[in-house]
Amino acid sequence: MDTFDAIKTRRAVKKFDSTYKMTPEQVKSLMELTILSPTSYNQQNWRFVTVTDQSVKEQISKAARDQAQPKDGSLVIVLCGNMNAWKEDPLRYWKDHPVEKQEIVAKALSRKYLDSPQNRRDEAMRSCGFAAQTIMLAAKQMGLDSCPMVGFEYDELAKIIKLPEDHLIVMMVVVGKAAEPANPRGGQLPLSDVVFENSF
């Protein structure tokens, strides 16, 4: 599928075919594409919990206020931010570059994140946002459908996935086959309302 077509046809599917199951190879392929998403300083601070076990998906549906997408979709991906990725062996993020480059990046990471929990949180949100869009467009290319979700009880979901204390849940994306088409778009604002040339 053409990238432009994937962007135009990607929709948040609310009803999934519960009989459709992705293969392990499909899941692996999707996640291999997902980790090509950009992150600041290449720190790769996203962490993904992929859920295919039906009993776990049903628990997630309950935590998602009884919405059906997690239990009926084939795959639930919980996108989390590792708030300490910036300091966990940071030289590895540029392991294919000279040591001088690695050390420059490590120092820059420390300057930006050491004393700023807000910067760490903001970066996790950005990184997971990029990754979520990659997941949804890659899924469309694979002939699959998706639904991004933030409507869930975070504390309950954290318990289900055994979220580490230094991580935060950003969102989740359900992937599978649509059981019926998505509702029509609600209505896009005109470019003149949202795009400003050079300044506001």
| pLDDT tens profile 82-108 | 999 999 999 999 999 999 999 999 999
166 is a domain residue: yes
200 is a domain residue: no
pLDDT at 133: 98
Res. 1: pLDDT tops 90: no
45 is a domain residue: yes
199 is a domain residue: no
pLDDT at 121: 98
Structural contact between residues 61 and 148, judged by C-beta atoms closer than 8 angstroms: no
160 is a domain residue: yes
Res. 23: pLDDT tops 90: yes
CATH code (residue 102): 3.40.109.10
Domain that holds residue 129: 3-194
Sheet containing 75-82, strands listed edge to edge, beginning at the edge strand earlier in sequence: 46-51, 75-82, 167-176, 145-149
Q: Is 41 left (phi over 0), alpha (psi -120 to 50) or beta?
A: left
156 is a domain residue: yes
Average pLDDT of 164-181? 97
Average pLDDT of 105-120? 97
For the chain, how many structural domains are there in total? 1
Burial 166-185 (b: 16+ CB within 10 A, else e): ebbbbbbbbbbbbbeeeeee
What are 54-76's pLDDT values in tens digits?
A: 999 999 999 999 999 999 999 99
Pick the more confident residue, 181 or 70.
70
Average pLDDT of 116-133? 98
